[in-house]
Structure 1
C-alpha cells in the first residue's frame, strides 16, 4: 500500500496543538497526488498529455483519534475502484499502529480546459484499472459491528 509520511507542524493545528479537521483533507489530497506520481502520472502530465484533471466528487471521513503537534504520520492511498470517468480511493491516516482517520474518496475525471466530466483516456484507464486493489469496504464484505 502506498504511504506518504507527514509531520504535524503548528500551521496544521488549532490553539491546543490538535490538527484542525480540514487539514486532514490536505494530507489525503497530497497522498493521492503522490500515489498518481508514483504510477508515472503527475498532475501536470495528466493536464498536458491527457487534457485531464481529477476533482473530488464525494468523500466520507471517519475521525477516530486526533493527531497532534509534532506527530509523525503515514497517509495511505489505495485505488479500490476505477470506472470510465471516476475512481475511488480508500485512505487512512496512521500514527504508528494507531488509525486516526479513514476515508473513502471518489474523484471525477474532468476535461482540463472546461472542467466538464469526461472519460479517462483508454491507455490511462487500462493502467489504473490494473492497479485496483479490493478492500472489504469495496467488495461489501466488511464485518458488521
Structure 2
C-alpha cells in the first residue's frame, strides 16, 4: 500500500538478551511495536490522539520469521510499512535489521477497538486516509 518504509533506531541492551548475549525472541516483537508506535506518532496519530477518540490498536495476528540473531550492543533498525488498511484493521510489514542484514521479518495485523469495551470499530477516516498515502 505504501512505498515509504519507516525506520526506528535501536540498540541491544543486556536486559534484551539471554544468558548467551543473544536477543530473546519476544524482544523482536517489542522492537516492532516501538517502530509502529513511532510511525503512527510521526503521522500525527500518537496515543493521545487515538485515546481521545476512545480507540486502541491491538495486535490480532503476527506472522514472524526469525533469520539471524541480534547480540548485546548491536545497533539495529526496526522498520514498519503499511501494506493494507481495512475497515477495522491495519496490516504492517515489519523487519528488524542490523545494517543490511535482516534479522527478523513479520507481518502484523492490528485491529482498531473501542477502549471502553474492546470491541472492533472502524479505523477513523483521517487515519485511513493518512495511512493510505503515507
Q: What is the TM-score when the length of structure 2 is the normalising length? A: 0.94
Tell me the distance in 2 between the aligned counterparts of 1:121 and 1:51: 11
Tell me the distance in 1 between the aligned counterparts of 2:81 and 2:69: 22
Flag as ranges the 4+ runs of structure 1 deviating above 6 A.
Answer: none
Q: Does 1:23 align with 2:27?
A: yes
Structure 1 portions without partners, runs of 5+: 132-145
Query: Residue 11 of structure 2 is aligned with which of 4, 7, 12?
Result: 7
Greater RCO (Cα-Cα under 8 Å, separation 6 or more) = 2
Checking the alignment, whether the CA contact within 8 Å between 2:43 and 2:130 is kept in structure 1 is no
Q: What is the TM-score when the length of structure 1 is the normalising length? A: 0.87
Q: Deviations over 1:94-143 (max 9, x none)?
A: 00111101000000000011111011122222222223xxxxxxxxxxxx
1:77 aligns with: 80
RMSD: 0.9
Query: Residue 71 of structure 2 is aligned with which of 68, 79, 92?
Result: 68
